[in-house]
Amino acid sequence: MKTLKPLFVLTLLFCCGAIMAEEVMYEKINYTLDIDRSTAEVALNPQVYGELTIPEVIRTEKGDFRVTSIGDKAFQGAKLLYKIELPKTIEHIYRSAFEGTGIMLDKENWADGVLILDSMYLIASDKSIKPKYQLPDYIRLVAIGAFRGNKTLTKVTWSPNVKQIDHEMFRDCKNLTKLEIPQSVEWIGEDILTGTGFYQNKKKWKKGALYVDGCLIATNKDIKPNFVFKANVPVRLLACGCFANNKVLQTLTLPDGLTHIPTAAFYKCENLQEVIIPTTVTRVENFAFYGCKKLKNALLSENVTEIGMGCFYQCGNMEQQVLGHEIHEIPQACFFTCSKLETIRLPKQLKRIGNGAFAGCAELDDIVLPEHLEEIGEMAFSGCQKLTEISIPSQVLSLRRGTFADCQALRRVSLPFGSYSIGEECFKGCNNLERVDLGDALFRIGEKAFYKCKSLRTIHLCDKIEVIEDEAFEECTMLNNIRLPKHLKKVEDGVFSHCVALRDLQLNDELQSISDGAFYGCLALQELQLPEQLKEIGEEAFAYCKSLQKVSFPASLERIGNKAFCDCVQLTPPTLPATTTVANNAFKGCSKK
């Protein structure tokens, strides 16, 4: 699948965060990593000089990443960069990547009006190019916008060895009136002819559609609501964004023989209601139906093996979808806020569910996670308000941030035996969550993992847990008993704050620190046996525990923080050893008996 940086600025920002990317430096070159796809793009490197070799793969702490693109303005302005070797793994190059570099400024690098690198990558053109240009057969890839704005070109004949025509390839080439697209081309980018003489020639358009050699390049407002493909030859390819932002289109049937629906093909077609997809389609690319708010029917066939991120993003009227049994990944935000989606059958061979894949699917009430599933992304099911029960497959060893946040009907969750981590805000706001079966291998519970799980009465914390992060159980107002894990050494800030029903609290023998606000406002807590190794109690750790009557303080205690037991109205301040530092307001508001 091609990785598009849409030129109409499609940025996937949703409640679970941005597309998972990370900046790294490898052998003095900056890269942007796509964590989900294990690919890397050369990022901004304006200070490089001399000769560079870009590797096929970079190796990082996150794993190995295949270098697939040279990013926008990657080397722009690097006047001392005079030579570069690019790997064969490259799928996209931005023309802007080399603007102002020594490579582009050196006239010896130009021949016949074009700049070619490594005898296979055509980067840019100038006014000395022949009006009728034949792309050399040895060219394998042409940069994004390589011919953009060229006033000389009148006709281009494509090379059979180039498989794609990338974004904005001929944009604003005002004198370009002819273009040949051979059968060898498998993928066409966005806006390749916008602003050209070809595009502006009304005779080239057929009922609101622009075709070139059996490829649909663009549509306009003259299209009919119930669009029918009518070209001189059978339509075999759609260009990226070919129907994007079309407010007229309501229904259409895609032509038989079409093998993929390209990136952003129907982006924000706000009145689109139905698309009949032929069984020949095997791939649906990124953002294909993004923002089609009225889309109700766009059923995929069992033959589809790959779907892109944000594919059905905000298709709020879609009630059902079919996923082929060969699909191994549901990528990030794929069904984000498909608010009427009620049921979906996940493929048995599914390995991964990406970030926010089903976030905001408010009507989704039944989903079975397949046994071969290995990974569930951040916020994957957040806001699935009718989901009542979920069983995590045995190969999923970690739940990430906000995976089931705000699933307000969720009552029971079962984690596998080998699960070792529950991420931040994983079950935050699951108001009806009554039972959680934690695996015995669990090591970590993240910040606010069970925040405001107001129906949770009890939870078994296995003895392998060593980390319970800030506010993990804050405002679990029905939680009535807790036994801390055997090896836990510190209760972090606000972990059990406002657990107003907590009556039975068993602190473990190895506990050394109780942090700020850890048990703030635990109104039902009456008695407390502090362990012998405890050294410090933080600020407001037990403040407003108004039923607390008895506390056994160990001789090991070194510090009691400000307002640690403030307004524990039934507790009489103790007499403590001189070695214990007690803040002035530690027992403010306590009984004066």
CB distance 521 to 497 below 8 Å: yes
Residue type, 256: D
Residue type, 327: I
CB within 8 A of 421, min separation 6: which ones? 397, 398, 399, 442, 443, 444, 446
What does DSSP assign to residue 366?
B
Q: Is residue 16 predicted with pLDDT exceeding 80?
A: no
Distances (CA, A) of 76 to 43, 103, 125: 11, 10, 16
**pLDDT, tens digit, for every residue of 512-551?**
999 999 999 999 999 999 999 999 999 999 999 999 999 9
Beta bridge partners, 468, equal 445
CA distance 546 to 591: 10
CB distance 286 to 5 below 8 Å: no
**pLDDT, tens digit, for every residue of 46-104?**
999 999 999 999 999 889 999 999 999 999 999 999 999 999 999 999 999 999 999 99
Q: Is residue 163 predicted with pLDDT exceeding 70?
A: yes
The pLDDT value recorded for residue 1 is 33
Reading the block at residue 138, the tokens are 């040895």
pLDDT mean over 364-392: 93
pLDDT mean over 351-362: 96
Chain centroid to CA 423? 16
**pLDDT, tens digit, for every residue of 386-395?**
999 999 999 9
The pLDDT value recorded for residue 233 is 84
CA distance 244 to 121: 29
The pLDDT value recorded for residue 20 is 57
CA distance 188 to 179: 13
What is the share, in percent, of the chain residues with pLDDT greater than 70? Answer: 96
User: What value does the mean pLDDT of the chain take?
Assistant: 92
Confidence of residue 10 (pLDDT cuts 50, 70, 90): very low
**pLDDT, tens digit, for every residue of 228-255?**
998 888 999 999 999 999 999 999 999 9
The pLDDT value recorded for residue 6 is 39
CB within 8 A of 120, min separation 6: which ones? 138, 139, 140, 141
**pLDDT, tens digit, for every residue of 399-441?**
999 999 999 999 999 898 889 999 999 999 999 999 898 888 9
Confidence of residue 593 (pLDDT cuts 50, 70, 90): low
CA distance 240 to 332: 20
The DSSP H or E segment spanning 200 is helix 197-200
Q: Is residue 7 predicted with pLDDT exceeding 60?
A: no
Q: Closest Cα to residue 199, out of 236, 181, 173?
A: 173
What does DSSP assign to residue 104?
H
> Three-state SS for 350?
coil
The pLDDT value recorded for residue 18 is 40
Using CA atoms in the order 527, 477, 470, 558, what is the torsion angle rounded to 10 degrees? -10
Q: Is residue 195 predicted with pLDDT exceeding 50?
A: yes
Q: Is residue 119 predicted with pLDDT exceeding 90?
A: no
Confidence of residue 35 (pLDDT cuts 50, 70, 90): confident
The pLDDT value recorded for residue 8 is 34
Q: Is residue 13 predicted with pLDDT exceeding 90?
A: no
Q: Is residue 564 predicted with pLDDT exceeding 90?
A: yes
